[in-house]
Amino acid sequence: MIRPEREASARSAHPIVFLVLILPFGAMAGYLSVAVGYLLSRAGLTVEAIAGLVRSLTSTAESRQQVRDRALSSRVRAALAAHPDTRKYRLSVDSDRGVIRLEGTAALERAADVARTVPGVVDVKSQLLEVPPIPPFVA
């Protein structure tokens, strides 16, 4: 049987379509809350139990700070990788509330200067890592 066009367009979309459309806009937590709530209600849980679970999925101030720190670390890594004086060195970058910690074996002064140019950086601390010498090969 052939369905009329009007009937086919009135069908609801699969939940994965909403996942793909909502993900770029940062509403993933809302989608997951609704999806988990729906699945739990089908499993027979009470509304109060589902509401408690959904409340536990919301973001906290600490989780938002962690996201900001990781984003800042990524921006600093990108700036270091793009700069001609620092791109050839392996540097470790970590962030804690806007304070960037750099670790590496070389070019830390120049890397600190580059990191300070990234918006959101409050301070830069660096630590020089010393690599022990490789002992000579004895046959």
List, for residues 104-139, the tens digit of each pLDDT value.
Answer: 988 899 999 999 999 999 999 999 888 788 877 776
Same domain, 29 and 69: no
Q: Between 79 and 42, where is the model more confident?
A: 79
Q: Would you say 106 and 131 are in contact if contact means Cβ atoms under 8 Å apart?
A: no
Q: Which domain holds residue 95?
A: 62-128
Same domain, 34 and 66: no
pLDDT value of position 67: 87
pLDDT value of position 126: 93
Same domain, 69 and 122: yes
In a domain, 133, yes or no: no
Same domain, 73 and 88: yes
Same domain, 31 and 74: no
- Quick: pLDDT tens for 47-94: 777 677 667 667 778 888 888 999 999 999 999 999 999 989 889 999
pLDDT value of position 8: 44
